[in-house]
Each structure stands twice: as structure tokens, then as C-alpha cells.
Amino acid sequence: MRLAACVLAMSVVPAVAQAASPMQPGLWESTVSVSRTGRVPLVTTDRDCVTQKEIDDGTKSLPRPGGDCQLSNVVTDGAKTTYEFACRDGQATLSGRAEFTIGPTRYEGKLEAVARRGTGPDVPTTMTWTARRVGECS
């Protein structure tokens, strides 16, 4: 009986990790606030076209801090998605964990990370995202 329960539990985990995103394709406007110890927060707003193919991929439509980022341990459970990331931009690296709540026309979330540049000190970094679908891609 225990073996059957373990097999059943293991078969459910991939289904949760690969659950479809409720996000709709289209033009999305996102506002990101970046906070670092000892610095004034930086706030930016961008617009990006998100395609159905990117949504179906499961990771391409997830928010990323920038640079060359690798995502791992992506888990979607209902509207909540969590993942770890590691990004590189020249000598700078940024790694941490993200948690987002994603809906058809809105999402919000936070990345907690550590930034490093060369042999410099670690810099704790928090990135807070809010986004909304604003229309169709042109």
C-alpha cells in the first residue's frame, strides 16, 4: 500500500509542475521596482508582446531579471508559480527565487535575489513586478 501511495504521489508532481498558465497572449505592460540595500529603488515600465507559443512553452513567458537567465524548479499550482533563476550579464550574476500569481489578464510577484559583480560583495536585491494585459500585439 505504501509503495502504491508513493508511486501515485510521484506521478502527481510532474502534473503540478507542468500545469498550463492561465495567461492570455497579447500586449503586456509590466512595472518593475528594483530595491537594493543602500540605494534608491529603481522603477521601470515596459511593454512586451507575449505569444501563445511562449505561454505554452511554460517558462518563456515567466518574468526574468534580465541578461542570460536559466530557470529551474518551475512549479505551477493553480495561479501560483514559483521558480529559481540564475542570470549572467558579463561579470555580473544574479540568482535567487521567484514567486508569481498569474491570471489571464494580470500578474504580480516578487524575486528575491543576490547580485554579484566580479569579486565584489553580495548585494541583496528584491524585484517586485505588476503587469496587466493592455491589448493585442501589433
- Run means of pLDDT, 10 residues per run, the chain, 138 residues: 30 41 92 92 95 86 84 91 93 94 96 91 94 95
Any domain includes 81: yes
- What are the cell numbers at 51? 505569444
Any domain includes 138: no
Any domain includes 2: no
Any domain includes 3: no
Range of the domain at 20: 14-133
So what's the pLDDT on residue 34?
A: 95
Residues 6 or more apart whose CB falls under 8 angstroms from that of 39 comprise none
Number of compact structural domains in the chain: 1
Q: Are 115 and 122 in contact (CB under 8 A)?
A: yes
**How far apart are the C-alpha atoms of 54 and 110, rounded to whole Å?**
21
- What are the cell numbers at 99? 514567486
Any domain includes 4: no
